[in-house]
A and B are shown apart, each in its own frame.
Chain A
Amino acid sequence: MVLGRSFEDMCAQMYYRGKMFGFVHLYNGQEAVSTGFIKLLKQTDFVTSTYRDHVHALSKGVPARQVMAELFGKSTGCCRGQGGSMHMFSAEHGLLGGFAFIGEGIPVAVGAAFTSKYKREVLKEEGDMPVSIAFFGDGTANNGQFFECLNMAQLWKLPVIFVVENNLWAIGMSHYRSTSDPEIWKKGPAFGMASAHVDGMDVLKVREVAKEAVERARRGDGPTLIECETYRFRGHSLADPDELRAPAEKAHYAARDPIVALKKYLLDNEIATEAELKSIEKKIDEVVEDAVEFADASPLPGRSQLLENVFADPKGFGIGPDGRYRCEDPGFTAGTAQV
């Protein structure tokens, strides 16, 4: 959680210093959800997220260096600088994206869950079934893909968990102004799905609920819908003036900061000392500083990266007038994508 917070704070700094561009959506305040769920997962499990994906990536194990370099648009980024803030991917860590349009990541998570089930049912693979988690917000819970996926996941009992990070706001649209029945978790039972609501500012409570959902998925009993009450401390993105949210609301949730809460819990229950926590924070600062240094020092992508990765098989660029596949020309990637 602390890594997430420090990282996001650094992102804000870097953005205003002109190292990071475009739309950047920070996760401050919601750390308990990412940590509570993802820290229960294995490397072979899958996660999909939205554009607010930096911390999901970090929780899933993507090194801070790779995420920062991606944000700086460098070729050492996890997506070689080709994805950016809203498109974090890591095949190694089972992060299936980072999606800019809301809702479009949910079917992808369902697809990964389908693969898990397929491998068991058809390919007769044994061992723990990999589970998938789809993270998305309150705004997405009004989108067609959400409902279509709840139906399919429950119908086929797929090992997927739908996690709604309800931070009450979709940019400037209040959840209550856009949703006829604001209790999202109650929509699961309409599909026959196990559902729960949890205080998303409390990492231990989130973990409890997450554990049950992960176990349900892994033993083949199907999906769960979990609504987490949470809050983003910053605006929707670094471009959002955040003028619509009432100061009283912001203050209410600031007092429920998940990191402050956990710190208090650890100290009160003598699980850790101040000194130990301070040394963790110091280590994390070093990780984040190192990530920035690494990203700064990394090279920008070369010209050839424009055409690489458009196709997994570059024969897709076709056959040129000379009868050869265009990709056979050694100078090809330095040219233009003409088909």
Chain B
Amino acid sequence: MPRLLRHELLMFEALREGLGEEMERDPNVCVIGEDVGDYGGSYKVTKGFSEKFGSWRVLDTPIAENSFTGMAIGAAMTGLRPVVEGMNMGFLLLAYNQIANNCGMLHYTSGGQFTIPVVIRGPGGVGRQLGAEHSQRLESYFQSVPGLQMVACSTPYNAKGLMKAAIRCENPVILYEHVLLYNLKEKIPDEEYTCCLEEAEMVRPGTDITILTYSRMRYHVTQAAKTLVDRGYDPEIIDIRSLKPFDMYTIGESVKKTHRVLIVEECMRTGGIGASLRSAIMESFWDELDGPIGCLSSQDVPTPYSGPLEELTVVQPHQIVTAVENLCGKK
């Protein structure tokens, strides 16, 4: 039986590999953003690309997010497939006009005449004391924009796969990366692969409760799971990966099995992904639930700079353990 060939790399390298493969495969794929060229990207996702692909394909822009995102959209409408990097996802708030009005809506308002196959990606989430503005979760802000797809990567494997799939997708896709996950190490296949943009990922099958999570919180959940297993629980952990649309099949099959749901996210409580997910599950699977859907989110505060305060804003593993114990009852 032939063994699958694999190679080990860090998540930012996986993103780079995926992007590089797509750029080689299709000469219309290009990168647009601040410091993506000479500097190699704020987290080195495009390191070496400038030399390899040239400065037109790896375009270093001036600091003008709204305009260069709009420029990427105009380029996409006329045949290119730009990958826009937000140096920090938070900067893309400057581009909200273009992302909502043009990226999301133009295919519809043009009656289907123009496609916008852009990928918008970058590092977001709460890091290590980066301060409020560099610690934002834009998935909650963009989820309402019609016409956008949103995915969040969490492992080198799915980072590469989602990057490739997002670039090949005819819809505009926002790919959320997390500042603290870029150095995750994993062995990934040598052979080419993509991940399905609309599917969730089973992390740990179980029977007691369905824990839905994404991005960095996946790791707080898996850490909490160790404690939970020790205490006799059997949690099923699903990384939803697709923040919009939700994979209601994978989620539904799990709810039908466990009848209990806990959502663990890094979004703010108000208007977060969890809020939408909770509502979607309740609507579709009400009869399957044995209790209310739990949702652990970040606190609705600007992320403080000071370490202990910052820790209090995001969900920690011990809180996940407590929440599961409350939803499932003590063992």
Contacts and interface: CB of A to CB of B under 8 A. Distances in A.
Interface in B55-77: 56-57, 61-62, 64, 66-77
Of A117, A311, A323, chain B has the most CB atoms within 10 Å of the CB of A311
Interface string B114-127: 11110000000000
Interface string B15-53: 000000000000110100000000000000000000000
B109 interface: yes
Interface string B198-234: 1100000000000000000000000000000000000
A223 B215 CA distance: 43
Interface in A88-132: 89-91, 96-101, 104, 106-119, 121-123, 132
A145 B198 contact: no
Interface stretch (B94-102, B183-191, B310-318): B94-102
Contacts of A82: 108-111
Interface in B100-152: 101-102, 106-117, 146-147, 149
B75 A112 contact: yes
B162 to A, nearest CB: 14
Contact of A148 (B56, B62, B80): B62
A107 B73 contact: yes
Contact of A316 (B67, B245, B285): B245
A320 interface: yes
Contacts of A104: 70, 97-98, 101-102
Interface string A315-339: 1111111111100000000000111
A87 to B, nearest CB: 4
A78 B111 CA distance: 7
Contact of B74 (A81, A114, A320): A114
A337 to B, nearest CB: 7
B80 A339 contact: no
A292 B109 CA distance: 22
Interface residues of A, number: 66
B103 to A, nearest CB: 11
Interface string A139-158: 00000110011011001000
Interface stretch (B85-93, B246-254, B259-267, B301-309): B246-254
Contacts of B258: none
Contacts of A80: 111-112
A319 B111 contact: no
Nearest to B115: A312
A115 B79 contact: yes
B109 to A, nearest CB: 4
A110 B27 contact: no
B199 A319 contact: yes
B271 interface: no
B92 to A, nearest CB: 14
A339 B246 contact: yes
A117 B101 contact: no
Contacts of A201: none
Residue in A109, A118, A119, A323 with the greatest tally of chain B CB atoms within 10 Å: A118
Nearest to B53: A122
Contact of A111 (B76, B171, B285): B76
28 contacts: A46-B78, A78-B111, A79-B111, A82-B110, A83-B109, A87-B109, A89-B106, A89-B114, A100-B101, A104-B70, A104-B97, A107-B73, A111-B72, A112-B77, A114-B74, A118-B30, A122-B30, A122-B57, A144-B67, A148-B62, A152-B61, A152-B71, A310-B146, A312-B112, A312-B116, A319-B245, A319-B247, A324-B249
Interface of B: 27-28, 30, 54, 56-57, 61-62, 64, 66-80, 97-98, 101-102, 106-117, 146-147, 149, 169-171, 197-199, 242, 244-250, 252, 280, 284-285
